[in-house]
Chains A and B, each alone.
With several copies, the nearest count.
Chain A
């Protein structure tokens, strides 16, 4: 039970926290926020990593894990970079102000 009780606590509190974290967001930030949150959801790369590490010599599993990792990193790296590009546009303009 121990892992699951911990997991459920963490799930409950994490969800509540997520609901509270975002309050009023100015419309100009909707797209960057969406894209940043999207990059974070690529955290599933940790699952892919774990899968690969635990798969030992099981080749199909290694391949599945590796593809999964690739997808996740595509999401993460692309997501953060693209968010940064968007935000750079805003902040470049901010500083000129």
Chain B
């Protein structure tokens, strides 16, 4: 027994070291994959440490082993299956789901300890107070994380829409009310360690829903990242509850790192965290206002056939994929079109804007799924100087990321966001379903330019038509 405590301790230290290296490594492309494995190993180590220590000291009963194995198998298998099955495009919602479950786990631990307080605790009144406080935090944050994540997932999957009342000021009152209720419950629980338990649970779950529901689907990745940071906090609180330093360090690290990541993500899309959390849905308000900010005066529209003719005559084509491509699930059709063009010795590259789509790296993942070779993906800074030498640009369901206002119009909300300078190319085709605005809800000056033609329709459908037209024209048929 005297040997086990130091070993367990060494394991804990090692696990924290590996976790820190893991988090650090995950933020660099080169090391990300190994870092992820490192973190997984660290977690295994940590679990092993707990089992070893318990076995060596108080012992683990058969009963406990059974329940441990049950929980592990069921949770692990379901997790593995979900992870294997989910399509790449559903990443944000699946991360939200996982995250919610982490929050739920912390919540349940706190609930268990609160319902059946162990008699062994003898830390005096201060210790008791700190422990109860940790239980309150764990319940509160865990419930918010869970309900918020589930709502986020449901909204991303389209199972939930944004009810209009959530866009009114009333929601702030609702949320404040829930927060007050939860605090009252917390104070009760602090004092006697039992009452107020369910008040906290219900009020903070409602708070999680109330805060997340009004947020537009496009801002969801940021919210998920924030909720992820919360689940770290919940884990740290659970660490206080069960008395595990390792849990506290790891939870604190993830909580803090998640906060930074949230900030980095906000910066990446030119939004502030406050406006994401309290500003309501951007998409919702813009959808109702139609175009938003000015009328279009000089729209040229054309058929897939004309577009195919232009493509046939081109030497350099640049594809600009955007959110619409992802929604239409058109990446495979796109790949077929570009294969045809390549066969005809037309040079095809893809211009990847860092925040195109609805999650960071969305376009990379999407195109990787459709087997687009990596060399053809060009980042914004690299492709921008090449547009003047480009014959045809095909904008597929992208909008904000090709809006020249971001460079020219100081009063535009987009001003300052780096964009793709597609208007420099000879001809630009924009494929989208109608004239409605993108994520930011802003009119796109590009559509009014003389060298821009709109090809209206669902991206998948238009690309399919394009493919037919190109084949009909005999492009790329090696004859």
Contacts and interface: CB of A to CB of B under 8 A. Distances in A.
A31 B92 contact: yes
Contacts of A61: 112, 115-116
Interface string A36-67: 11111111111111111111111011111111
Contacts of A74: 75-76, 78-79, 82, 98, 101
Contacts of A51: 109, 112-113, 242
B360 A27 contact: yes
Interface in B218-244: 221, 224-225, 228, 231-232, 234-236, 238-244
Contact of A89 (B27, B50, B247, B369): B369
Interface string A1-41: 10111111111111111111111111111111111111111
Nearest to A54: B118
A75 B23 contact: no
Interface stretch (B33-41, B168-176, B402-410, B450-458): B33-41
Counting chain A CB atoms within 10 Å of each CB, the highest count among B112, B225, B355 belongs to B112
Contacts, number: 423
B255 to A, nearest CB: 6
Contact of A82 (B78, B91, B252): B91
Contact of A70 (B75, B252, B362): B75
A54 to B, nearest CB: 6
Given A15-B256, A50-B50, A25 B261 contact: yes
A40 to B, nearest CB: 5
Given A31-B91, A72-B102, A41 B228 contact: yes
B94 A82 contact: yes
A50 B64 CA distance: 10
B257 A46 contact: no
B250 interface: yes
Given A28-B361, A47-B244, A84 B36 contact: yes
Given A28-B360, A33-B27, A75-B98, A89 B88 contact: yes
Contact of B71 (A4, A10, A67, A88): A67
Nearest to B74: A70
A58 B242 CA distance: 17
Contacts of A12: 13, 16-17
B69 to A, nearest CB: 9
Interface of A: 1, 3-58, 60-94, 96-97
Given A21-B257, A65-B109, 16 more contacts: A14-B248, A17-B253, A25-B261, A31-B362, A33-B26, A39-B39, A41-B99, A46-B46, A52-B67, A61-B116, A65-B67, A70-B74, A73-B75, A75-B98, A86-B91, A90-B361
30 contacts: A1-B126, A7-B240, A9-B13, A9-B245, A9-B249, A19-B259, A21-B257, A22-B257, A26-B29, A31-B91, A34-B221, A36-B22, A37-B261, A38-B98, A40-B254, A44-B105, A44-B251, A47-B247, A53-B50, A53-B60, A71-B104, A73-B75, A74-B76, A77-B83, A80-B40, A83-B26, A86-B88, A87-B36, A89-B88, A93-B373
